[in-house]
Amino acid sequence: MNPTRLWAIARKEAIQLRRDPRSLIMAFLLPVALLLFFGYAISYDVNNIEMAVVDESGSERSRALVHAFESSGYFDIVEYPARYADVDDLLQRAKVRVVMVIPPRFDRELAAGRDAAVQLLLDGSDANTATIAQNYAAAIVIRYSSDVLLHARRFVLPVEAETRVWYNETLESRNMIVPGLVAVIMSIIAAMLTALTIAREWERGTMEQLAATPVHRLDVVIGKLLPYVGIGLFDVALAIVAGLLIFGVPLRGNILLLAGLTLLFLLGALSFGMFISAAVKSQVLATQVAIQTTYLPAILLSGFIFSISTMPIALRAVTYAVPARYYVTVTKGIFLKGVGPEVLWVEALAMIIFAAAGLTLAIRSFRKELE
């Protein structure tokens, strides 16, 4: 490695970036723009679930139960079909996701002190929403039921579970989404930034000119990497500020630790992009490889949306090769749990290995010789 040559390459790369304002703006603003956009748009919080009620009882008690659903905020009763037969059509055309059927004898049974049953029909074609809706609905029915029991008969249920949620007390999905989103967006952006840099130069013929100079491949790879590391750090900083100020996500851990681990992550992800670029030498192919290897894995295999612990063991093994996985753990851990190196050293180690492997692969596969 030679500092003069490395600097010459880094400087050249930075100037070229500056000359391409469209790409530069995208590199600097894309992450924070995406974060703002999605931070507002998405939420797991299932509310306003469209619901239909078939109240065949039509009594004061049945109306009280319906009111309990309405006032919960989770359900939005949009239809009151008169007949049970209409339910089929409502679910089929996805007008509602949940239907509650209150049978005619509902009031009679309760009045007589016997058990009454209501029927809940769920649209299982969206299993996520259905599961959550099921939980909400069951909880409302249970509460209503115990109201009936407790007030009427002074009965104490023998066991009660008291639940508390840690790290994200209100179960606000934004708190959980924003730190994870930063990690996923950055994994994708990092590959995007570097995946074409070397392939482009081979296609344009400039690499041949570079290759005939005494510049070492280490100088080329690291020199090219430097400006992008700078951009990446800026992107993360901006995203964190936006997360804190705009979304009010708590930052409970050490920000310096976050910065250090971010640097490690960026080194790995950027060198991986560089590796793709050096290995395939064609921009079209590099685009394909970069998107296929980073895009969906970062979203689906990082633990951001789908929990890794429920995956089959073979796939769980694959997730260890997805750097976004570690970074998602890091951002969530530092933001929400406030944990430090005593917990995150595993992730740190994994990211060091990634950075080292990424750099080695990039340097190895970057041959100054033509094929």
Instruction: Say whether residue 196 binds other proteins (CB under 8 A).
Output: yes
Checking DSSP bridges between strand 75-79 and strand 98-102, what pairing results, if any?
Answer: unpaired
- Select from 36, 77, 78, 141 the one that contacts other proteins (CB under 8 A): 141
In the complex, the smallest distance separating the C-beta of residue 26 from other proteins, rounded to whole angstroms, is 5
Contacts of 113 (CB under 8 A, 6+ apart): none
How many Å separate Cα 342 from the centre of its chain?
Answer: 25
Task: Pick the closer one to other proteins by CB: 233 or 318.
Answer: 318
Q: Provide the angle, in degrees to the nearest 10, between the axes of the packed helices 283-290 and 255-280.
A: 140
Task: Supply the minimum distance, in Å, between the C-beta of residue 359 and other proteins.
Answer: 21
Of the residues 22, 60, 85, 151, which one makes contact with other proteins according to CB under 8 A: 22
Kindly identify the residues of this chain, within the stretch 327-346, that bind other proteins according to CB under 8 A.
329, 332-333, 336-337, 339, 343
Contact flags string 292-321 toward other proteins, x per CB under 8 A: x--xx--xxx---xxx-xxxx-xx--x---
Choosing from 1, 126, 255, 317, the residue that interacts with other proteins (CB under 8 A) is: 126
Query: From CA 132, how far away is CA 126, in angstroms rounded?
Result: 10
Distances (CA, A) of 227 to 18, 22, 234: 11, 16, 11
End-to-end CA gap in the chain: 24
Select the residue interacting with other proteins from 122, 242, 258, 276 (CB under 8 A). 122
Interface with other proteins by CB under 8 A: which range of 227-235, 239-247, 281-289, 353-361? Answer: 281-289
- What tokens were used for 107? 């009031």
Size of the site for other proteins (CB under 8 A): 149
Written as six digits, the tokens of 266 are: 């960026």
Q: Closest separation between CB of residue 2 and other proteins, Å? A: 7
* Residues 247-266 within binding reach of other proteins (CB under 8 A): none
* Stretch of 2-10, 240-248, 258-266, 348-356 contacting other proteins, by CB under 8 A: 2-10
Given the complex with other proteins, which of 75 and 354 has the nearer CB atom?
Answer: 75
Residue 44 CB, nearest approach to other proteins (Å): 5
Candidate residues 82, 85, 159, 256; the one interacting with other proteins per rule CB under 8 A: 159
What residues between 62 and 121 interact with other proteins by CB under 8 A?
65, 91-94, 109-110, 113-121
User: Residue 279 and residue 213: Cα distance in Å, rounded?
Assistant: 21
In this structure, which amino acid lies at residue 24?
L
Report the nearest approach of other proteins to the CB of residue 253 (Å): 11
Q: Which amino acid is at 230?
A: G
Task: Give the residue, chosen from 58, 104, 131, 364, that forms a contact with other proteins under the rule CB under 8 A.
Answer: 131
Per the CB < 8 A criterion, the answer to whether 322 and 302 are in contact is yes
Stretch that binds other proteins, among 17-25, 78-86, 239-247, 352-360 (CB under 8 A): 17-25
Q: Which residues are CB-neighbours of 150 under 8 A, at least 6 positions away?
A: 156
46 binds other proteins (CB under 8 A): yes
Residue 55: strand pairing partners:
102
Which of 165, 181, 164 minimizes the C-alpha distance to 335?
181
Binding region for other proteins (CB under 8 A) out of 42-50, 226-234, 239-247, 254-262: 42-50
Of 286, 237, 275, nearest to 28 by C-alpha is 237
Cα–Cα distances (Å) from 259 to 123, 133, 193, 291, in that order, read 45, 39, 19, 26
What letter represents residue 153's amino acid? R
Question: Cβ of residue 365: shortest distance to other proteins, in angstroms?
Answer: 14
Assigned token pair, 269: 């992800």
Q: Which stretch binds other proteins (CB under 8 A): 51-59, 213-221, 234-242, 351-359?
A: 213-221
The CB-of-73 to other proteins minimum distance in angstroms stands at 12
